[in-house]
Amino acid sequence: MRIGIDLGGTKIEAIVLADDGRIQARRRVPAPRGDYHATVTALRDLTAAIAAEAGGAATTAPIGVGIPGTISPATGLIKNANSTWLIGHPLDRDLAEATGRRVRLANDANCFALSEASDGAGAGKAVVFGAILGTGCGAGIVINGQALTGPNAIAGEWGHNPLPWPQPDELPGPYCYCGKHGCQETFFSGTGLELDFRRHTGRVLDGPSIVAAAEAGDAAAEATLQRYEHRLARGLAAILNVLDPDIVVLGGGLSNLARLYETVPRLWDAYAFSDTVTTTLAKNHHGDSSGVRGAAWLWTPEETR
């Protein structure tokens, strides 16, 4: 048994997960904003409450936490976090001291991929690439059941590579918050989809409205989705050429666009460096729960006994 926590910018969700993947208890609380020490306190109190609710082995279970950032291998402190008040702090050590438990942290995209590889859409697959197409565009890599972090703790930072095989009208690409132009996040995120539609039409619609307009016969909306599919196919073909995963699992809001799973694999064949592509493109199995489940799976059953 282990405790998984998904530490977001506005909410914190925690579960107690049994070895067979069943959730024994679940709680969600608002996340303190701008206050590191209040965040540690909230994590401590939530851990105590959910462990008491589940009882049994949960009272001593280790904690896995998914965060919107990662731990710097150089300093042991949080870096690259959207929740900027976490940056520069030893969150794993502080939480371990506050709770008296073993603690592991991982990037939230890694947790998503680990969840889907453990008992989700990628279960039983040796190499899983989990891509999140949401407000941003991140990814995680799981190989033989283990999340790949890398010596620089940036494995899977797919969104901050340039769009492969760019068309003339895609250069230099939209400005990205990282300071560069043309990052894949500026094309593959929900925000990127909306900005592309606005650039070509002068109209402002959110992602679901663009999809609805395309389904209703709006030619401009349909063209936007076709551009998106072609770009996503190129982006994932680059992953196939380097990682050659058994399966690519999509998460985030745009993973709900059913047409992607038929169109993108048909398009990526032209860019993958192979005479045949057997990699599967699949929607996530656990939805919004993938992050918190993956955080719990940072501890193997053997380690929790």
Q: What is the mean pLDDT of residues 59-84?
A: 92
Q: Whose structure tokens read 């993956």?
A: 294
Residue range 207-255, pLDDT digits in tens = 999 999 999 999 999 999 999 999 999 999 999 999 999 999 999 999 9
Q: Distance (Å, rounded) from C-alpha 127 to C-alpha 141?
A: 7
Q: What own/partner pairs with CB < 8 Å and gap ≥ 24 does 147-154 have?
A: 147/106, 147/110, 147/111, 147/113, 147/114, 147/298, 148/110, 149/70, 149/106, 149/107, 149/110, 151/73, 152/73, 153/70, 153/71, 153/72, 153/73, 153/79, 153/107, 154/70
pLDDT beyond 80 at 305: no
Residue 71 and residue 104 in contact, taking contact as beta carbons nearer than 8 Å? no
Task: Name all domains of the chain by residue range, CATH numbers in brackets.
Answer: 2-108 (3.30.420.40), 121-284 (3.30.420.40)
Residue range 101-156, pLDDT digits in tens = 999 999 989 999 999 999 999 999 999 999 999 888 989 999 999 999 999 989 99
Lowest mean pLDDT among 192-201, 213-222, 288-297: 288-297
pLDDT beyond 90 at 292: yes
Residue range 96-109, pLDDT digits in tens = 999 999 999 999 89
Q: Distance (Å, rounded) from C-alpha 9 to C-alpha 107?
A: 14
pLDDT score, position 170? 96
Q: What is the mean pLDDT of residues 24-50?
A: 96
Name every residue whose Cβ is closer than 8 Å to that of residue 21 and which is 6 or more positions away in sequence.
118, 119, 293
pTM attached to this predicted model: 0.88
| φ, ψ at 276 (rounded to 5°) | -150, 150
